[in-house]
Amino acid sequence: MSAPSLVLLALALAADPAPKASGPAPAIHALVERCVDAYGGKKAIVRLARIREEGSVTSNVLHPGAAGRISRVYQRSGKLRVEIAYPDAPREVRVLDGSRGWRFGEEVQGPFLVSMILQAARLDLPSLLAAWEAKLVDEGTAEVDGKTLRVLALEVAPGLRIEAAIDAATGRILRSRGTGTGGMPLEFVTTYSDFRTVDGVLVAFREGNYANGRTTGDTVLEKVEFPASLPEATFRP
């Protein structure tokens, strides 16, 4: 993925209202409004600009049978820090700052960079839907755990796409799917459950994670905050 494409994504992650000269289809507009309302309305969109989360994580691929600790910090636009620690393993630190990413202190490209970009996007997904409503594509319906969900898709940069599968009855996003290329086709799917309200914002405290069709583990949040500001050093490798 080229640097200009990543810059476009960073701009998209700002989630400022985009011009809607032609306007979205009425059905898309109604679904996005329902979704934003479900997550707490316009005030929630403002709070989602900065997120700090802590919890536990499992990895069926790298640490089967072990439970680790995870912390995530996100800031619009396109800034992310993830720290993961498993017993008897070095702490993994991933940092994204717009178009650049680092893992274990070393700058990365390809799949590692794409995965961080898509993770940052899904953490701010209700805001992205609201900001780029005119660019959303209605992908019809999908069956998830016995429920029929409406799928809205957004191409945030050339070759980089994220989908939100929304329960039209509740407005909740029950699954996200991010696709891109990093030298190979990549697909990251996350399912959401155990919804709770924190400071007026709806949060899914449980996530099921999949990569390229394979289950990779679960993330269970224990603490979620929406800080007024974050230290600039947070997003340095």
Give residues with Cβ within 8 angstroms of 46, minimum separation 6.
none
Helices and strands (H, E) in the chain, number of each type = 5, 13
- Over residues 116-161, the pLDDT tens digits come to 999 999 999 999 999 999 999 999 999 998 999 999 999 977 788 9
CATH of residue 152: 2.50.20
Q: Which residue has the tokens 């155990």?
A: 194
Q: Which two tokens stand for residue 186?
A: 């990549």
How many structural domains compose the chain?
1
Given this model, what pLDDT does residue 64 score?
A: 78
Residue range of the domain that includes 7: 3-16+25-235
- List beta partners, residue 215: 210
Q: Which two tokens stand for residue 86?
A: 């498993």
- Over residues 169-178, the pLDDT tens digits come to 999 999 999 9
Integer angstrom CA distances of residue 204 from 8, 123, 128, 214: 28, 10, 17, 21
Given this model, what pLDDT does residue 49 score?
A: 97
DSSP designation for 184: S
DSSP designation for 119: H
Q: Which residue has the tokens 């993961």?
A: 84
Classify the C-alpha dihedral 118-208-49-22 as positive or negative. Answer: positive
Q: Residue 158 burial by CB count (10 A; 0-12/13-18/19+): exposed, middle or buried?
A: middle
Given this model, what pLDDT does residue 45 score?
A: 96
Given this model, what pLDDT does residue 167 score?
A: 97
Given this model, what pLDDT does residue 22 score?
A: 52
Q: Which residues of the chain have pLDDT under 70?
A: 1-24
pTM: 0.89
Given this model, what pLDDT does residue 24 score?
A: 64
Residue 91 backbone phi and psi in degrees, to 5: -65, 130
